[in-house]
Structure formats: structure tokens, C-alpha cells
Amino acid sequence: MTILRVLLGLLPFLGILAGVFFVNRVTPFVLGMPFLLFWIVAWTVLTAVLMLLVYKLDPRNRRDAAPGSSQGKY
């Protein structure tokens, strides 16, 4: 489960840092924006979505967790 969360959390970094090498172009325009800008906007939204998934999958954020039980692995 931890691995799944870390992988989900890494996706935005891949999408933006590695993705930029493949999407440095103007066309096609998407939602009126040049493609490179659209790509970054899309990943900004996706980051929020992926982090929501991570949040939901993270046992530390369960509502029934006792207060103070939020100790991570550190």
C-alpha cells in the first residue's frame, strides 16, 4: 500500500519534469491554450487528483484513527 501511494505521488514529477521533453510544442491547441501550457495546467490538476487518492489511501488520514496515532514510519 505504501508503495502504491509513493508511486501515485511520483507521477506528477514524471509528468512535469520528464514530460516537458516530449511536449515542447505549440499545437494542438487544447482548451484554447498552446500544448505546452495545456500540459502543465493538466498536470497541476492531476497532481491535486492524485494527491487526493494518496490522501484517501493513507491510513493516517482515516477518520477512525485515534488522535495522536498519526505517527509515520520516521
Binding mask 31-60 for another protein (x = CB under 8 A): -xxx-xx--xx-xxx-xx-xxx-xx--x-x
Distances (CA, A) of 73 to 8, 13, 14, 70: 18, 23, 25, 10
Helix H or strand E segment including 64: none
Those residues with Cβ within 8 angstroms of residue 25's Cβ, 6 or more apart along the chain or in another chain:
35, 36
CB of 4 to another protein, least distance (A): 14
Binding site for another protein (CB under 8 A): 9, 12-13, 16-18, 20-21, 24-26, 29, 32-34, 36-37, 40-41, 43-45, 47-48, 50-52, 54-55, 58, 60-61, 70-72, 74
